[in-house]
Amino acid sequence: TASYEAMWERLGLDLDAHTSLLEVLGKFYGDIYMSQQGRLRGMEYLDFVVSEIHGLRIRELEEARAQGRKVIGTFCVFVPEEIVWAAGGIQVGLCAGAEAGTEAAEKILPRNTCALIKSFVGFKLARLCPFTESCDMIVGETTCDGKKKAYEIFSDHAPVYVMEIPQMKGAADRALWKAEVLRFKEAVEDLTGRSITAENLSEAVRLINRRRRVLQRLNRLRAAQPVPISGRDVLLINQVSFYDDPDRFTQKIGELCDELEAKVRRGEGVADGAARVLLSGCPMAIPNWKLPYIIESSGAVMVGEESCIGTRNTRDLVDESGRTLEEMLDAIVERYMKIDCACFTPNTERLEHIVDLARELEVKGVIHYGLSFCQPYAMESFKVEKALRNAGIPMLAVETDYSMEDVEQLKTRVEAFVEMI
């Protein structure tokens, strides 16, 4: 890390606090990830990426910025990535999955705010995240009220641009969304100084589709019986997909899938006798591994993640058949309108997707994860439970945050659920 210190200092990080954060993260990763038996060789790439979490990729961003490229940070899968890459920008999903910085965040936000929001504000105020500090623009959105209002406060500290996300899915909402995609395109063109053309947009659509396809392949393979890879390994791959270079990531995960395919052919599993479960709900940003670890050390194995850091972000591709810029932008508008976030009303597609996914994956039960104080997902969990009950699939609703205080209590509840299913 010594070689990175000068870079972290240039980015204005609080070096002492940052060192402690990396130490905690390293220990947490060791306990949760390195302790697993029979992992794929391909996971070494992920271990490397995590060991370099604030190192190598940040250096790449620094080099890219030195050549005039712009870095755009996001907190929501609604931000159309294709536009950023087409304009020569680099998009990074900002993590917001750790508790560090909460104290600072609570000075400017109500305490009863979800942990994800406190985390991104806290990381900024406590100067802990080199990704946040590398951003030339940070894109917020009007999804839940918490995020929407937090961006107003956050914009005093960072270069925030807010996209308006519709709340329903009628014709007027689609028109609003299209206008917002076009407004974003202009903002990105202004920032990067590069026009978006049919040519560069087509390339970007293919680039991001390739990454989605490799994750779809991973999701198909991991669903095999016996289960060939732990759910937390797959979650980690999804988490890393948000900030790694898309080409490199696609190639590395493609290699990992080749290895996984061979393992499936040999009929080798990692979780003998464990109950197959689907995790559903709020996004789990890196390094939020608490609940997955509890689940997978309680006699269950996750075979799917119905969340934005999971199938919601990879299920739908952008149609590649468009030839003109207008057609391509329309295809982008359509693809993103399919996102079934709990911020929409009504949101029946999500209920259908969960039931279909649970059946397809042949799970014994679903664990619904909501962050404390997240109203959209907490409210919707009642409807999810009902839809699953009608399909004969049991569900456990868990509400938690990033602190470790409730680990024992959660473990007891998860174990009782796993025993019952």
**Closer residue to ligand BJ8 (CB): 229 or 342:** 342
| Beta carbon of residue 148, minimum distance to ligand BJ8 (angstroms, whole number) | 9
Which residue carries 């407004």 as its tokens?
183
Residue 374: Cβ within 10 Å count: 24
Identify the CA nearest to 402 among candidates 283, 250, 253, 258: 283
Distances (CA, A) of 239 to 121, 145, 385: 19, 24, 26
- Residue number, 348 or 390, with CB nearest to ligand BJ8: 348
Contact 270, 227 (CB under 8 A): yes
Give the residue with the Cβ less far from ligand BJ8, 116 or 223. Answer: 116
For ligand BJ8, which is the closer residue by CB, 77 or 387?
Answer: 77
Q: Which is nearer to ligand BJ8, 121 or 308 (CB)?
A: 308
Smallest distance from the beta carbon of 64 to ligand BJ8, in angstroms?
A: 25
CB of 94 to ligand BJ8, least distance (A): 11
β-strands 300-306, 395-400 pairing? unpaired
Pick between residue 115 and residue 274 the one whose CB is nearest to ligand BJ8: 115
Q: Which is nearer to ligand BJ8, 74 or 298 (CB)?
A: 74
360, 213 in Cβ contact below 8 A? no
Q: How far is the CB of 92 from ligand BJ8 (least distance, A)?
A: 14
At its nearest, how many Å lie between ligand BJ8 and the CB of residue 22?
Answer: 25
What is the number of alpha carbons within 13 Å of residue 371 lying toward its C-beta? Answer: 26
CB of 120 to ligand BJ8, least distance (A): 9
Q: Least distance (Å) from ligand BJ8 to the CB of residue 76? A: 3
Q: Are strands 300-306 and 160-163 parallel, antiparallel or unpaired?
A: unpaired
Binding residues (CB under 6 A) for ligand BJ8: these are 76-78, 114, 116-117, 143-144, 146-147, 282-283, 308, 339, 341, 343, 371, 374, 376-377
Q: 231-240 and 198-222 helices cross at what angle (nearest 10)?
A: 170
Asked if 142 contacts 162 with a C-beta cutoff of 8 angstroms, the reply is yes
Nearest-angstrom CA–CA distance, 35 and 79: 36
Radius of gyration of the chain (CA): 21
